[in-house]
Chain A
Amino acid sequence: MKTKLLAAMLFALGASTALTVQAADLRIGLQEDPDVLDPDQSRTFVGRIVYASLCDKLVDITPDLEIVPQLATGWSWSEDGKTLTMDLREGVTFHDGTPFDAEAVKANIDRSKTMPESRRKSEVKSIESVAVTGPYQVAFTLTAPDATLLAQFADRAGMMLSPAATAAAGTDFGAKPVCSGPFSFVERIQQDRIVLAKFADYWNADAIHFDTVTFLPIPDTTVRLANLRAGDLDMLERLAATDAAAVKGDAGLVYAEAVSLGYQGITVNVDNGERGDNPFGNEAKLRQAFSLSLDRDAINQVVFEGAFAPGNQPFPPTSPWYDTSHPVPARDVAKAKELMKEAGYETLDVEVQVANNPVQTQMMQVVQAMAAEAGFNVKLKSMEFASLLADQSAGNYQASQVGWSGRVDPDGNIHQFMTCKGGINDSKYCNPEVDRLLDAARTSNDLAERKKSYDAARTILAEDMPIIYLYHPTWIWALDDKIEGFTPYPDGMIRLENVKFKS
C-alpha cells in the first residue's frame, strides 16, 4: 500500500514536471510583493515589473533611454511646445476584447487626472486636455511646454487600461487588471504569486514565447537565489551585489546587469527648519570637504563588490545626461582638510541618519571611517525607514542617507529635489538661478538645449552640494542558463519580448 502511494506520488510529481517543460511557463522571483495592480493607483517599483508584461504603454524606452513607439506609432510637437499629437497603433485590443483607440487614450488620461485615488496626477499635471482628432489620433494640449511628458508616457502614466473594465470596476480595477500587454491577468494570491497568461490577440504576439508567467515575491535574497538554483525559479531580479560572484561562477546561471537610473546619497539639511542652522548646513565648503574625503570607488568595492557605479551627480555616468566636465572626484584628504580650515574648522560633528538595514549601515560605516580622516566626527543614527522619511520631511535631521529610484527623464532626478518649491526638496535648498535653469530644461524639447541647462545647474550644485551623491545602484538579474534573449534595461524592468527557453 505504502509503495503504491509513493509510486502514485512520484508519478504525479513526474507528470507535473513534464507538463512544465512542455508548456513554457516562466517563473520570476521578485524582491517584494507588489501593491495594488492598478497603474493609476500603484506606487511600488516592483509593481512596474509586473506591468511590463501586463500593460502596454503609449511609448517605451530603449536601453539607451531613447523614447520609441509602443501603442503610439508616432508623435509630433507643435511649434510652441504646447501640443503633442500622437498617432496610435491600429488593430490593438484590450484583454477583454475592447478595441484600443483614441477614445480609450482620452479615457485613460482623464482617469489618471481625475480619479481621487490616482497617484499619477503629478505626472500628467501639465496636460490641460486631450482631444480625439481621429479614430487613431489624439492631441494633448498642455498648460505649458513639458519635455518630460513623453518619458511619463513610457511608464505608468502611459499605460492603457481597458475603458470598459475601469468603468465597471472603478477603484477595484486592481483586483482584476485588464490592459493590452503581451500577457493577461489570471490570478493573484497576496504575498504568494501573480499569474499571467499569454494574450493570443497581442499585436506583437510573434515576439512572445511563454504561455504563462508567474511572479513570486521572495523577499530574502539568499532564499530567492536558492530557489533559482533549485530550479524553482527561471529568473530573479535584484540579486544582492554580494552574491554576484557566486552567480558568475555558476555554470548553470547567467548574470545580467544594468546601471540604474537612480542614485544614493547624503541629503543635507540646508534650510529645513531650525536643525538646518548648523555649520554643515550653512557652509558649502564643509560639504565639499566631506565629499572629497570619500573614496567612492573603494566604497563600491568594499560594500558592493564593485557591482555598482560610483557617482557624484543625480544621473549615473552611463547616462547621456551626465555632465562629463564634473567627473567622479578622486579622494583628496589634504584638500578636504584645507577646505575645512578655510571654513574655520579642525573637526566637525555630523549626525547622519541611515535606514536600519545591513547594507546601508555597512556603507555608511565605511563613509564614517573615511570622513574621520579629514576631521569629520560622523555619528550614525540608525532608523527604521518610515521614521527616517518622516523626520527628513519634517526637517528633524542634520543629514540623511537616502536615495531615489530614478526616472527616465532627467527632470525627475533633479527638479523636485533642487528647486525652491520642489515637492521632495527635504534639504530646502533654494537658489533662484538653479530654479531658472531647471525650469528652462523642463520646457525645451531641444535635447542639446536641455543638456546645456542641466550642465549649468550642475556647476552651481557641485559648489553648493545640498545632496552629496555617492553611487548608483545596479540592477542585477540572475537567470537560468536555459533562458535566452533577455535584455537588461536601466529602468530595472523585465521585458519579455523575444525572451525564450533555449530549444
Chain B
Amino acid sequence: MLSFILRRLLIALPTLVLVSIFVFTLQKLLPGDPALVLAGEERDPETLAFIREKYHLNEPILYQYFYWVGGLLQGDLGISLRTNQPVLTLIADKLPVTIQLAVMAMIIAMVIGIPAGILSAVKKGGPVDYIANFLALSGLSIPNFWLGIMLILLVSVNLGWLPASGYESIFVDPVRSLETMIMPAFVLGTALAATLMRHTRSAMLGVLKADYVRTARAKGLSERVVVIKHAFRNALLPVVTLGALLFGELLAGAVLTEQIFTIPGFGKLIVDAVFTRDYAVVQGVVLCTAAGFILMNLIADVLYVLLNPRMRNAQ
C-alpha cells in the first residue's frame, strides 16, 4: 500500500511542474498591465517604473518564471502585489475557511444525495423516484448565486434567523461560525447533492440487477439488508470516485458562493486577485488548488483499493 501511494506521489510531481508552467504562461497572456492597475488612478510614471522593477515585470518571461520557481522551492510563493502580504500567509489564512465550507457542503450533499439516490433506485418509477428526480434536476439547474440571494432575502432579511453574510472562525466562536456557514454550505451542497443523487441512483440500479443481489434475496434476506449491505457497498465505488472529482466542482462553486456570502476564503481570494492582476496570488492559489486536486485523486484511489478487494490483489 505504501509503495502504491509513493508511486502515485512521484507521478504527481511532473504534473505539478506542468501546472506551474501552464499557470504562469496563461496569466501572462491575460490582457492588461498589472503595473497600470497597481499604480493607482494617477499612473505616476515614476511609480510605474518602480513597480515594474520591483516585481521583475520588465524582464523576459522565462526569467520571471525562474524567479518564481526559485522562490517556490524555498517555500516562498511571493508577495501579494496588492496588500504586501506573503502569498503563503494569505493561503494559509484562507484555506481553512474554504475547507470548512467544502466539508459542510459535502456533508449536506451526502446526507441529501445518497439516501435520495438509494430510495429512488429502490422505488424506481414510483412517486418517490419522480420527486427525487425533480429535486435533483432543480438542484442542478438553479444557479448558485440566485439561490444564495433568495436565501439571504428569505432567511436573513425576512425571517431574521441567520446572519446575511460574513464569517467567524470555528475556533473563535463555533456557534457563530456555523450560523454564518450553514446557508452558503447549503447552497453549495444542493448542486452537489443532485449530482451525487443521480450517480448513486444509476449505480444502485446497475447493482440491484446483479446476480448476487438476486441470490441474496433468494436466501431470504430482508430487503433492507440486501439494499444496504449487499447492493450499496458495491454501488459506492463509482460514487467515491465521483466524490473526489466533485472536489473540483466544489472549489469552483466556492468561488461564487464565497462571493455572494462574503466569505473570506480561497474563492474570494482568487477572484479579487484576478481582478486586481495580483499575479503572485493567482499563481499561488491555482498551484495549491492543483496540488489539492491531485491529492484528492490520490485519496480516491486509496479509498477505491480499500473498498474493493479485487483492486487490492491487482496491485
Contacts and interface: CB of A to CB of B under 8 A. Distances in A.
A190 B272 CA distance: 11
B44 A393 contact: no
Interface string A38-69: 00010110000000000000000000000000
Nearest to B149: A222
Nearest to B81: A35
A133 interface: no
A223 B160 contact: no
B93 A423 contact: no
B261 A223 contact: yes
Given A192-B167, A386-B37, A219 B84 contact: no
Interface in B12-50: 31-34, 36-47, 50
A389 B37 contact: yes
A226 interface: yes
Given A35-B83, A116-B50, A190-B85, A423 B157 contact: no
Contact of B93 (A190, A218, A222): A190
Interface residues of A, number: 49
B152 A226 contact: yes
A405 interface: yes
B248 interface: no
B43 A423 contact: yes
Interface in A346-401: 384-387, 389-390, 393
A488 interface: no
A43 B166 CA distance: 25
A57 B206 CA distance: 73
Interface in B65-93: 82-85, 90, 93
B36 A389 contact: yes
Interface string A1-43: 0000000010011001000000000000000010110000101
B165 interface: yes
B250 interface: no
A232 B37 CA distance: 32
Contacts of B157: 226, 229-230
Contacts of A74: none
B269 A393 contact: no
Contact of B84 (A171, A386, A393, A424): A171
A278 interface: no
Contacts of B37: 386, 389
Contacts of B94: 190-191
A327 interface: no
Nearest to A394: B33
Interface stretch (A117-125, A269-277, A473-481): A117-125
A447 to B, nearest CB: 24
A423 B269 CA distance: 32
A501 B264 CA distance: 29
A405 B157 CA distance: 33
A386 B275 CA distance: 8
Interface string B254-275: 0000011110100011001001
Interface residues of B, number: 48
B262 A232 contact: no
A342 B178 CA distance: 69
B199 interface: no
Contacts of B260: 220, 223
A216 interface: yes
B264 A230 contact: no
Given A192-B167, A222-B149, A229-B157, A386 B82 contact: no
Given A232-B164, A384-B31, A121 B47 contact: yes
B277 interface: yes
Contact of B166 (A12, A216, A386, A387): A216
Contact of B165 (A171, A190, A227, A386): A227
B175 A36 contact: no
A130 to B, nearest CB: 20
B212 to A, nearest CB: 41
Interface string A158-196: 000000000000011011000000000000011111000
Contacts of A172: 84
B272 A386 contact: no
Most buried by A among B84, B156, B275: B84
A33 B90 CA distance: 14
Contacts of B50: 116-117
A216 B268 CA distance: 14
A152 to B, nearest CB: 12
Contacts of A175: 84-85
Contacts of A145: none
Interface string B143-179: 0000001001100110010011111000000011000
A135 interface: no
Nearest to B262: A218
A119 B41 CA distance: 10
A223 B44 contact: no
B45 A423 contact: yes
Contact of A122 (B42, B175, B259): B42
B149 A192 contact: no
A216 B175 contact: no
B175 A12 contact: yes
Contacts of B259: 219-220
Contacts of B42: 119, 122, 416, 423-424
Given A191-B264, A390-B31, A36 B44 contact: no
A404 interface: yes
A282 to B, nearest CB: 26
Given A172-B84, A423-B44, A190 B164 contact: no
A41 B262 contact: no
A193 B166 CA distance: 9
A386 B39 contact: no
Contacts of A393: 33, 36, 43
A436 B223 CA distance: 94
A136 to B, nearest CB: 32
A91 interface: no
A231 interface: yes
A192 B166 contact: yes
A217 interface: yes
A116 B51 CA distance: 10
B293 to A, nearest CB: 23
B31 to A, nearest CB: 4
Nearest to A217: B262
A423 B152 CA distance: 45
B273 to A, nearest CB: 10
Nearest to B271: A219
Given A226-B156, A232-B163, A389-B36, A36 B31 contact: no
A33 B272 contact: yes
A13 B32 contact: no
B262 to A, nearest CB: 5
Contacts of B163: 227, 230, 232
8 contacts: A33-B272, A121-B44, A122-B47, A227-B165, A230-B157, A232-B163, A386-B34, A389-B37
Given A44-B40, A230-B160, 6 more contacts: A33-B272, A191-B268, A216-B166, A226-B152, A393-B33, A393-B43
Closest 4 CB pairs of A and B: A386-B32, A43-B40, A192-B264, A387-B31
